[in-house]
Structure 1
Amino acid sequence: MRFTRMRTARATWAALVAVPLALGGLTSQSHAQDASPSPSGTFGPGCSSLSQKADTARDKVVEAAAAYPELSQLVAATVRARLGGTLDGKPDVTVFAPNDQAFKKVTASQLAALLKNEGQLKKVLTYHVVDQRIAPDQLSKGSFTTVEGSKLTTSGSGSHFKVNGKANIVCGNIKAANATIYVIDAVLQPPS
């Protein structure tokens, strides 16, 4: 008899929980059709191929970027420009981080000239950094002032976004202790 009461009580409890969950699921679906949802967590077509060495949520931005082999060119350029301390010292930033494929799109002569000119290198790299954390829901029609001082724009919806209408966000919303990182497939140039 005791066993039967326990089974009945569990079945009743399951039914009480299932009905509100089912109704909540229907409500969420109808609202989801009304608005384009923003991604939560990391998103983008390149996230699955982005190999990460460790969890970066507790690392400062330069160390977090260094955990991704696909960002080795960016990390090397940041070290060369002596920006590591500056970026790690900021409390909240967003980095639109060009991956190694993005650096391969720059001609060898342009890249060599950029790496030789520390002032120009700093200008280009700080154009990829915004002095605030940018959430995915701010990307659809965003306009942000970069650390370099010029404007940068974002556009798109769902999990497909562009920066300055040119660079695709291939993996976004990567967390670091003081930053949010969006990996992009092009090196951005600040306006002249």
Structure 2
Amino acid sequence: MALSRTSLTTAIAAAAVAIPLSIGGLAPAAHAQTSSPSPSPSGTSTTSSGVFGPGCSSLPKTGAGSAAVMAKQKVVAAATGNPQLSILVGYVNRAKLANTLDTSKDITLFAPTNAAWQKLSSSQRTALANNPTQLKKALEYHVVKQHVTKAELPNGSFTTLEGSKLTTSGSGTSFKVNKSADIVCGNIPTANATVYLVDTVLMPPS
């Protein structure tokens, strides 16, 4: 049964509480090094690899979660090593989506950071965690079934794994998804996906 946007919002807000924060223990061991981002004239961070956004400076510079290590791993393993994505990884595992994402090719993940999930109330996050069907639907809405480049972001419209459309807009290094979520660090490559960290959980249409 389709839920209304209000119902799904209530459900989504209820989930992170039910996921133990000990999911950081899932992080794989990884060893690599990447150069630290250098500030761009606009005040955002950019790197020679094309990673951009004001939140990129918080990526680990070396080891698990760094851009260099994430580029060598499948998307869920890459996200597991990123401390900003521990809540998302917990939900992906709970929804049994890890294998689907890691075996998909050339997908794009608009990945809500821990701060994005924490914008939701604890009751909303708990409700979502306790409803695997709606949790899976919400997570699949963050996955686009194609490689989305930075050049496509200014006026983008993409079909998600959930089946609905999401849009992107903006310019330079400042972009939004669905006119509500800011991309805080974008164009992060993994072995089978491109990751854009977003500061707000995206809601599929009712």
Q: TM-score range by the shorter chain?
A: 0.7 to 0.9
Report the equivalent of 2:176.
162
CA deviation string 1:99-138 (max 9, x = no partner): 0000100111111000000000000000000011100000
1:45 has 2:54 as partner: yes
Q: How many percent of aligned residue pairs carry the same amino acid? A: 57
Distance in 2 of aligned mates of 1:142 and 1:61: 22
What CA distance in whole angstroms lies between the structure 1 residues aligned with 2:134 and 2:186?
Answer: 26
Question: Paired residue for 1:84, among 95, 98, 112?
Answer: 98
User: Matched residues in 2 for 1:48 and 1:73: separation?
Assistant: 20
- 1:70 is aligned to 2:84: yes
Q: Among residues 116, 132, 150, which one is paired with 2:164 in the alignment?
A: 150
Structure 2 counterpart of 1:181, from 167, 185, 195? 195
C-alpha separation in 1, matches of 2:49 and 2:189: 12
Task: Confirm or deny: 8 A CA contact 1:51 1:70 kept in the other structure.
Answer: no
Given that 1:93 and 1:133 are in contact with CA atoms closer than 8 Å, whether structure 2 keeps it comes out as yes
Q: What letter is aligned with 2:85?
A: L
Q: TM-score, normalised by structure 1?
A: 0.78
For residue 92 of structure 1, report the CA deviation from its aligned partner.
1.1
From the two aligned structures, give the one with the greater helix fraction: 1
TM-score, length basis structure 2:
0.73
Superposed CA offset, 1:71-96 (max 9, x none): 00000000000000001110110000
Distance in 1 separating the partners of 2:120 and 2:59:
21
Quote the Cα distance in structure 1 between the aligned partners of 2:105 and 2:202: 23
Number of residue pairs matched by the alignment = 154
Q: Which amino acid aligns with 1:160?
A: S
d(CA) in 2 for partners of 1:84, 1:105 = 24
- In 2, Cα distance between equivalents of 1:65 and 1:134: 18
Corresponding residue for residue 127 of structure 1: 141
Q: Which position in structure 1 is the counterpart of 2:11?
A: none
Deviating 4+ runs (over 4 angstroms): none
Shift of 1:58: 1.6
CA–CA separation in structure 2 for the residues paired with 1:40 and 1:73? 26
Distance 1:135 1:96 in 2: 12
Give the gaps of 5 or more residues in structure 1: 1-38
Please say if 1:108 is aligned against 2:122. Answer: yes
Give the conservation status (yes or no) of the 8 Å contact 1:94–1:179. Answer: yes
